[in-house]
Structure 1
Amino acid sequence: MKPTIYDVAKKANVSISTVSKVLNDTGSISDKTKKKIWDVIDELRYQPSLVLSAKKALKTIGVLIPDISNPFMAEITRAIEDSGRKHGFSVIICSTDNDSTKEEEYISMLKQKYVDGIIVATGLRGSQAIRELIESDMPVAMLSRDVPYLPVHTVVVDDFQGGYDAAVHLTNLGHKKVAMIAEDINIPSIKKRVDGFKEGIQISGIAIDDLPILYSSLNLNECRKVCLELLKDTEKRPTAIFVSTEMLAFGVLQAARLLNLQVPTQLSLIGFDNSMLAKLSDPALTTIAQPIEEMGAKVIDLLVDEITNQNQDGRKKVTQRITLSPYLITRDSTSPYVKP
C-alpha cells in the first residue's frame, strides 16, 4: 500500500497541515521540522499527490453531522452548502449515525483528503478524535454544539431561551398540567432546552415537582410508547407537551390518536427546530424555530476567515462564539386550555 500524507504526519509526529505547508512551501515552519518531515518523506518514499498540490484550487470543506435522515440536519447542511458555494467552497457531507467509530473514520478520511477546514455538528461521541482534530492546525468550527473548554469557533442557538419561550407560550394559553419529552440529557443543547423549560414553568407559578420530564430516543415507536405511558393516567394527564426536537412530535401525535385525544383542543403540542416536519405534520406544528439559514452562513463565515488567514505570519488565532436567538412560530398544534 502506498504511503499517504497521513502516514508521513504520524511518523513525523506533526499535523497533516504542517506536512502540507512543507510540501507547498507555505507558513512558518522551522528548519528543524522541515528537515524531519523531508527525512520521513524520503524514508517512506512518499509521493505527494496532484490533489494535494492543487489544494488551494479545490477549496473544500468537510461537514460532520449526526444523522442526514433528520430533516433539521438535512436543512442545516443545505444552508452550509449554499453558503459555502457563495464563498467558492465545495462541501463534503459525512453522516456519522451517532457512531463514535464512524466519527473517527470520517475525521481520518477528511484529513487524508486534505480538506481546507471541517465543521463539526455531531454529538462529540468520539471526543478524543475531535479534540485532537481541533488541537491540530486544521481550521475547525462547531455548529449547534457548545464545548467551552475547546478553543474553537462556535455557532449555537440559545437553547435555554427556546425552552423558556416554549414554557411561557403554553402557560400563557392557560395550561397548568404540562410535560416535556426530550432526547438524551447528556447532549448539552438538549439539557439547556430542559433547563429553560423548567425555568419558564417556575416563573409561571407551576411547581417543578408537578412537571413530568421523560426521555426518549428519536425512534418513533419508543417515543409513542413513552407518550402513551405519560397520557394513560386521565387524572394526571398533561394538557400540553413540549418536545425537544420535532422528530419526537410524531410519536406524541400517534399516541394522541390511539387514545382519541384531539390536538390541540385536548392536547397542545409544541416542538423545537422548525424543520419541514413542522409544516407537514397534521396539525401543523407550533415550534421554537432555529434560524437555519443564518446558522449556516455564520459558521461558514468563521471557518472561511480562518482558512483564508491561517498562513499569515504573526496573526494570533482568536476564536469566536456566536449565539443566535430562536423564535416562536405559532401554528395549529397549540390552543388555549379549555376545561373539560
Structure 2
Amino acid sequence: MKVTIYDVAKKAGVSIATVSKVINNTGNISEKTRKKVLGVTKKLDFHPNVMASALTGKKTKTIGLLIPDLANPFFSELARNIEDSATNWGYNLIMCSTDYSSEKENKYLSLLKQKSVDGFILASGFEDLTKVQELIEENIPVSIIARDSPMIPINTVAIDDYMGGYQATSYLISLGHENIGIIALDVWSNRERVRGYKQALEDHRIKVPGNFEYAKEISIVWGKKITQNYLNSANPPTAIFTCNDLLGIGAIHAAREYGISVPEQLSVIGFDDTMLATLIAPTLTTMAQPIQIMGKEIMELMVGMIERNETIKRVTLMPELVRRESTAKVVKKGNS
C-alpha cells in the first residue's frame, strides 16, 4: 500500500500543511519538528509525487547534473560530493554523462527540462554555450562547476586552472627540469593549464617545446600514447606535466615499457589528486582540486538561486601541489 502525506502527518502528529512545508522547505518550521517529520518520511519510505508538484508550479526538489565522463575518477568523485551536499539540502540529483558531446549535452538539457528539474549543474565541457545562455534567458537556475565561463553571467565554482598549470610547471623547473613536455585535452580547463605551463616556461626563459599535441580523450591510453611520442622524439623531455591524473598514469606506464625509470629519468606530475594517484607505483605527484569544497559550494549557490533568488556569484578556488614519488630533481648528464 502506497504511503501518503496523510500517513506521514498522522505518524508525526502534525498537520498535513506542516508536512508539506517540511518537504518543500518552506515556511517557519522549528528544527525539532523538521527533524521529526523527516525521520517519519524516511521510516515510512515516503516519496512525494515530484511530477504532481511540477504540474502545480511547485519545486520538484530535483537538480539535473551533467557530467562529461563518469569513468573519469575526478568527475565520479565530484558527482558523489555534489550528491552528498544535495542530500543535505533535501534535493535529489539526476545525473547524465555527456562524453564531451554537444549533441548529448543538448539532448539531456531538453530531457531534464521536460522532467521539470529545479535547476542545472553543468560539470561538462560545454564549448558551445548557446544552450546555457538559453537556460539563463528562461530564468532557469544554472551553475557551472570545474571550469570558468567569464563570457556569460552564471554561477561558477571553478579552480584557477591557469595558476595550477603555472605552479605545476614552476615546481618541475625548481627541480632543475628545463625540457618539460605537457599532455592535455582540448577543453577550457586544460587550455588554461597549458597557458599557465607556457607562461611559467617563458618567465624562466625556457623555450616552449614545439612538438605539443592535444590528446583525443582523457584516458590512460592517450597519456601513454603521447608520452611514447615524446620518448621517441630527438630530444625527449626529462619531465612531463599531465593535465589530469589518468594522463599521468598513462605517462608512467609508457616510461615503464620503455625501460625509463620514474622519477630518476623522467618526472611526471598530474592534476586532480584522485584516489588513483596513490594507487600507481610510483605514487603520482599532482595538483589537488578541493573536490569536497567544490561540491558544497555549488549546492549552496544552487539553493540560493532556487529558494532565495540570489544573484550570480563566482567562486574560484586554488589547487594545491601534493608531492609524491613521481617527481625528483633532474640528473644532469655526467653526474652520478
TM above 0.5: yes
* Corresponding residue number in structure 2 for 1:200: 200
Query: d(CA) in 1 for partners of 2:304 and 2:278?
Result: 35
What are the Cα deviations for residues 84-110 of structure 1, in whole angstroms up to 9, with x where unaligned?
111111111111112222212211121
Query: d(CA) in 2 for partners of 1:211 and 1:269?
Result: 19
Query: d(CA) in 1 for partners of 2:279 and 2:136?
Result: 38
Residue 128 to residue 188, structure 1, CA distance change in 2 (3 Å) = same
1:281-292 equivalences in 2 (<5 Å): 281-292=280-291
Counterpart of 1:128 (choices 121, 130, 134) is 130
Query: d(CA) in 2 for partners of 1:103 and 1:87?
Result: 26
Quick check: 2:65–2:94 contact (8 Å CA) kept in 1?
A: yes
* Corresponding residue number in structure 2 for 1:253: 252
| Matched position secondary structure for 1:180 | strand
Query: d(CA) in 2 for partners of 1:211 and 1:180?
Result: 11
Quick check: 1:178–1:212 contact (8 Å CA) kept in 2?
A: no
What are the Cα deviations for residues 144-189 of structure 1, in whole angstroms up to 9, with x where unaligned?
22222222111110001100111111011111111111111xx221
Within the alignment, does 1:213 sit opposite 2:206 as a pair? no
How far residue 220 of structure 1 moved from its aligned partner, in angstroms, is 3.6
* Corresponding residue number in structure 1 for 2:223: 223
Which aligned runs of 4 or more in structure 1 are off by greater than 3 angstroms? 53-58, 219-223
Query: d(CA) in 1 for partners of 2:88 and 2:271?
Result: 28
Within the alignment, does 1:275 sit opposite 2:277 as a pair? no
* Corresponding residue number in structure 2 for 1:44: none
Which residue identity is paired with 1:120?
A: L
Quick check: 2:68–2:123 contact (8 Å CA) kept in 1?
A: yes
* Corresponding residue number in structure 1 for 2:237: 238
| Matched position secondary structure for 1:141 | strand
Quick check: 1:273–1:289 contact (8 Å CA) kept in 2?
A: yes
Residue 71 to residue 280, structure 1, CA distance change in 2 (3 Å) = same
Q: Please list every run of 5 or more consecutive structure 2 residues that lacks an aligned counterpart in the other structure.
A: 1-49
How far residue 254 of structure 1 moved from its aligned partner, in angstroms, is 2.0
Which residue identity is paired with 1:242?
A: F
How far residue 57 of structure 1 moved from its aligned partner, in angstroms, is 6.5
Counterpart of 1:95 (choices 97, 103, 107) is 97
User: What's the RMSD between the two structures over aligned residues?
Assistant: 1.9
How far residue 56 of structure 1 moved from its aligned partner, in angstroms, is 4.6
What are the Cα deviations for residues 59-108 of structure 1, in whole angstroms up to 9, with x where unaligned?
11111111111110001111111111111111111111122222122111
* Corresponding residue number in structure 2 for 1:107: 109
How many residue pairs are counted as aligned between the two chains?
283
Q: Please list every run of 5 or more consecutive structure 1 residues that lacks an aligned counterpart in the other structure.
A: 1-47, 311-316
Quick check: 1:55–1:114 contact (8 Å CA) kept in 2?
A: no
Query: d(CA) in 1 for partners of 2:152 and 2:236?
Result: 43
Which residue identity is paired with 2:112?
A: L
What are the Cα deviations for residues 252-286 of structure 1, in whole angstroms up to 9, with x where unaligned?
12211121001111100000111112111111100
Fraction of identical pairs, as percent: 42
Which residue identity is paired with 2:205?
A: G
